[in-house]
Structure 1
């Protein structure tokens, strides 16, 4: 059994070889650093060993492999995929399931168990039993709670962005090059979608006149369905954004407090469950300084008591100096009445600083503080991860055939 990190050509490690055993149990522990703000691709490979040089030599039969991300394992707790041979061919009915079953309370490690279920004739012919074969994978994590991170997107449609039909507009849709709004959306969204089980994302707009009456709205669904503002995956958000542009009139002002309050209302309902179930990330994409700063500060202070974080990406070349106030890195953000935030939940990043960088660099920067913010919230609420409540040691069931 081999574990490989896709970003690195070398193998992370190999499991031990168990010979002449119809019911092998792999005990090898693999250590892989877990970073919430990155897409970390893993590859698992299975070999039938014939030689004496270890796994993966030219004498051994490659039985198949599977790829997934660390984020998928941590978020879903159970990732099942078919084994593939080279060139995308299925390896019969064989599957691999990676399961996260236990989180230790002290050392910050998430305990995962790799299980390969062997079902087709090739495995039987090679004298391998069709059972689950586990080995542990420990992932170092500040944010290994079982809660799902729900992404909410808010896009600035104020007139200062420029006419979308003009190539100089920040909302111009170039068929060959995504605009800055799309670059920021995809960079952050592709990370967050691993932690969202249903892959549906709420997508809102603000600062535009919308049909049918063309009144200004600061919290409208960009799919124009007020009863269900969620889109299917990040690609669904992208399509709704592109379809929305010809139907609205960019206007103003740049008010974001209504968006923050709308998401906070949903987060407040989650708080009432008193479980570590869902944590909300609001991604605000804007081309200018907010015009309702007092109301925004008040809304952020209220939101700091709820299971949510706010990421603001400044698009374009505006002077975003005043936006740094919301970030709180240079001092504690306070409401107009002087009440401080409970937690620093806002991260502001000007997109221009990452214009020539990779999407990964932007995502790492804007999401870097989220794990800390999640831990601070659940620590304040004294809520342990749900997987720690009444958890039992999974090893007791690992050897039983499925």
Structure 2
């Protein structure tokens, strides 16, 4: 489901789950040292006037504590991603400085986004985990701060969504479900995570592909997976959408039936065999709940290059590969300009969908 929210200020330092200091934000002016062996482009050390888009040499990085913000409460997807980054960076010895995680929850991640863009502007030692859910948070919360204002570094992981129905449901295929959703939208009670999140976005995309009115879909938002599971089992919901791992236990037990997954290839979500994709079911829809990492605006070109190199090296490390295996995350890596282009295309696509289902504008 979507990232849970809670009390701001939990911070861990030096290890994945160790408690630490409060949420105070410190602006640092780090001494930047030009290191020829790290140079990614000609031109020597970055000057004060350089921006993140110009050619410049990489700098030594990090030179002080590296802080990773999870813009959600402890326990959610962004939090687990930040803490996994912390552990992998430390265990791989790619950094000798300490790595600290702190939480800034609220408003679909937009409170954390606002802090990164304003208070942390120009501070290359402040990074934030983000993802598709934040695009919806910006739109539905009418945030004055946009994801386009950050410095994209990389996409990291992704998870497929799954569409499920109760085992006793008359629907055995996605096409049967969508035929009824198109003919009589109010006959289908959909459930999922928070309004404007990945789950509702997928339903909107699916309705559009099926020729149904996205705004007519009846969607009930739940704050956690337990609530939607109970609603499915009690018959209050016709169908529900969540991350593929969310309902795998109930699919495996025979209490739910998985109709389709949202990625490019079918995966086993508990049925003992791959569940077909939405595309294989006849609808041109593909959606991954991706997560990535960004830096504040206003950092220098050499700093941007050094951060990208650090995350590239992390992605290649044995420690990160083990993290993907342990967390059952799909590798969804792209960095630098490729990540920037992906952020922009996803922002345009998801904002359009949210407008079509009546959550934007």
TM-score normalized by structure 1? 0.21
Report the structure, 1 or 2, having the larger helix content: 2
Report the structure, 1 or 2, having the larger strand content: 1
TM-score normalized by structure 2? 0.22
Larger Cα-atom Rg = 1
